[in-house]
Amino acid sequence: MESDLTGIPNIGPATARALIAVGVADAAMLRAMGADAAYRALLVAGERPHFIGYYVLHMALQGRPWNDCKGAEKDALRKRFDALVAGVRGAPLSGIEAELDAIGLRRPGVKAAG
């Protein structure tokens, strides 16, 4: 699938493939949904949380170098990242995930329902 995601600085082919896999088809869609919603979609799809990937996505959407994130801004993003990860991990399981949880086969890091 062709996409212009890699035209955004800081977004390489692997990140673009992961975003496309979760339904973020192009740069316009990514900009419209924002970094938090896009990163949440990645987490829900099973991507392992990684703070650097999270803030790189924020910097990319601002047109800034990934290593421009420092100080109070980085601290604030860390709090948002931690809350986002906790929210996804604490979300109730549904569908096949609930069935796998019921028989004791859940993804690492995902809390059991109930």
Q: What is the pLDDT of residue 58?
A: 95
Amino acid making up residue 17: R
Domain presence at residue 113: no
Q: What is the pLDDT of residue 100?
A: 62
Domain presence at residue 24: yes
The number of domains in the chain is 1
Domain presence at residue 108: no
The domain that contains 59 carries what CATH number? 1.10.150.20
Domain presence at residue 71: yes
Domain presence at residue 29: yes
Amino acid making up residue 95: G
Domain that includes residue 71, residue range: 5-102
Domain presence at residue 109: no
Mind listing the pLDDT tens digit for each residue in 19-77?
Answer: 999 999 999 999 999 999 999 999 999 899 999 999 999 999 999 999 999 999 999 99
Domain presence at residue 97: yes
CA nearest 61: which of 95, 44, 37? 37
Domain presence at residue 112: no
Amino acid making up residue 112: A
Q: Which residue has the higher pLDDT, 59 or 88?
A: 59
